[in-house]
Amino acid sequence: MVNERMSDREEKQILAPAGEYEREPVPEHATRGLKSYLGMFAGEHVAGTELLIGPLFVVHGVTAFDLVFGLLAGNLLAVLTWTFITAPIAVKHRLTLYFQLEKIGGKYLIKVYNVANGILWCCLASAMIYVSATAIAVPLHFKMPALNDWLPPGPGLIITVILTGLLFTYVAARGYQALAQFANIAAPWMVVLFAVFGISALPELGIHSLKNFWTVANQSIWPGHVSEGRIHFTFWHVMFFSWFGNMAWHWGMGDLSIFRFAKKYTYGFASAAGMFFGHYMAWICAGLLYAVQVHRNIADTAITPGSLALGVAGWAGIILVFVAGWTTANPILYRAGLAFQSLHSKWPRFKVTLAAGVIASVIGIFPGLSSKFLDFAALYGLALCPMGAVIFVDHYFMRRAGMLDFYAERANLSAWWPPLAAWFLALIACVILNIGFGVQIFFLGLPGWIMAGIFYAVMSKSAQNRFLIKRLSL
């Protein structure tokens, strides 16, 4: 009973970090300054999975130019999207993503959205569990998977992943706050350690000054050789991946919940701290670690973050890999538990989170997901972004087109079908583009988002009740 009460309180804290306002606009006095956004983005986007993404760019055969300038362009576009697409709507309504979606599509839309989110969060958490597990498995000399292995290579890694997953799950199920505090403490150290990784890797690659960095980068670090079974990444792949890597949060409007506390929409520029520390510096530094590993043994192409970090930074690197995986897996497991619990309010969150964590741990056993993490990250953004298009269209176009915004709320409906139909039709269209026309998943985000917006507007036009529009417009 005590635990349940604590859980309720913690649940409110995570859903509404300032204390309340889950179902009401954030008042002016509760808004936050720019500094808190800079710190939050810098900490949130330096995670364990950066140690997978940086090396995966190398195995996909990017060149140094494509990486350095593709990341620059993509991260800049991501910052602009947060600032000019997400933040203005957040500051205007000051509502959570969930409450805004409920007003548009009714409470049943939220349930479907939560299940989709919960499943994707389990997969995301599994990659983070795997990353942290490698920090334990490598010093114990357990056999690690090769680059393209889908199955675990032996019982050592399986047991390590399961035990790591269960530890993370238990802590997440017990509550969110303790490890969140630890994550805040670790964040500045993680940013510095990622930079240290990159700098420490330089001498082994034969780089002793900035003068020969570009030459070595082209010849030894990002030479543009594609590994077997991988597609070749160009500038456009890098740019679109870094732009859409967090698509669920900006185009998909997930960060409405964050920016509703911002004093001005221009605080969206604070996302640059996360993008350029986490998705620029950290990805490049992780690529350098991988280059060192291949430089030492050309046959060793496996991507095991523990091994990469141990080689260059010793035990501090091992600690970083474990902490970076844990601090990001913890809130994800917690949120996955909440998402599934929303299906049935009487389900105890503790047990639901345990179940979500067990699922994530079992998925984490299979290294295939981690070695295909770029594809998964693109899928994650693509699957959730149509709901962002629905919110965008509802905010900017419904009234101008003679329709009602927040229709489910105004018509007092529990379920309003156009948002849900637009979501599924957009995803079906993306599958057709992918399978029928060969458009790679990395490029489907924006077409999917635009199609969802058009579908939603067209279906709303035919489905909204004209009498209700007239009555409420008077």
Interface with another protein (CB under 8 A): 18-19, 30, 181, 184-186, 188-189, 192-193, 195-196, 199-200, 202-204, 207-208, 312-317, 319-320
Q: Which is nearer to another protein, 203 or 229 (CB)?
A: 203
Q: How far is the CB of 179 from another protein (least distance, A)?
A: 13
Give the bridge partners for 262, in sequence order: 32
Answer whether 379's CB lies under 8 Å from 448's CB: no
In 3D space, the residue among 166, 344, 474 whose CA is nearest the CA of residue 352 turns out to be: 344
Q: How far is the CB of 50 from another protein (least distance, A)?
A: 17
Q: Which is nearer to another protein, 18 or 458 (CB)?
A: 18
Q: Interior CA angle at 98 toward 95 and 102, to 5°? A: 95
Report the SS3 class of residue 276. helix
Give the bridge partners for 223, in sequence order: 63
Q: Which is nearer to another protein, 4 or 20 (CB)?
A: 20
Q: How far is the CB of 197 from another protein (least distance, A)?
A: 8
In the Cβ-directed half-sphere of 463, how many Cα atoms lie within 13 Å?
18
The 10 Å Cβ neighbour count of residue 217 is 22
Q: How far is the CB of 129 from another protein (least distance, A)?
A: 22
Q: How far is the CB of 322 from another protein (least distance, A)?
A: 12
Residue pointed to by tokens 């364990």: 48
Q: Which is nearer to another protein, 155 or 188 (CB)?
A: 188
Q: Which is nearer to another protein, 322 or 406 (CB)?
A: 322
Name 298's Cβ contacts closer than 8 Å, sequence gap at least 6. none
Q: How far is the CB of 203 from another protein (least distance, A)?
A: 5
Q: How far is the CB of 275 from another protein (least distance, A)?
A: 21
Rounded (to 5) percent helix, strand, coil in the chain: 75, 0, 25
Phi, psi of 263 (to 5 degrees): -70, -40
- H-only helix segments in 268-348: 271-276, 283-296, 305-341
Q: Which is nearer to another protein, 309 or 403 (CB)?
A: 309
Phi, psi of 353 (to 5 degrees): -65, -40
Token pair for 64: 């140094």
Report the SS3 class of residue 31. coil
Q: Which is nearer to another protein, 33 or 188 (CB)?
A: 188
